[in-house]
Amino acid sequence: MKRKRFSAVLAWMIVFIMLAGIVPPIEVSASVSVTVHNPLGQIAPVDNQPLAERLTQAELATARIALVSYTKQVNPEVLAAIGLELRNLHPGIQLSMYSLGGPWDAKSMANYAFWATYDAVILGVQD
pLDDT in tens, 6-51: 888 888 888 877 776 665 555 655 566 777 777 777 777 777 777 7
Q: Where do the structural domains in the chain lie, given as residue ranges? A: 2-30, 58-125
pLDDT, one tens digit per residue, over 90-122 is: 888 998 887 776 555 555 556 777 888 888 888
Judged by DSSP in three states, 99 sits in strand
Residue 109: its pLDDT value, please?
Answer: 56
Q: How many residues does the chain have?
A: 127
Q: Element (H or E) spanning 26, and its range?
A: helix 26-31
Cα dist from 120 to 45, 65, 67, 80, whole Å: 27, 5, 9, 16
pLDDT at 119: 87
Q: What is the pLDDT of residues 45-74, one digit of tens each?
A: 777 777 777 888 888 888 898 888 776 655
Nearest to 70 by CA among 116, 106, 96, 114: 106
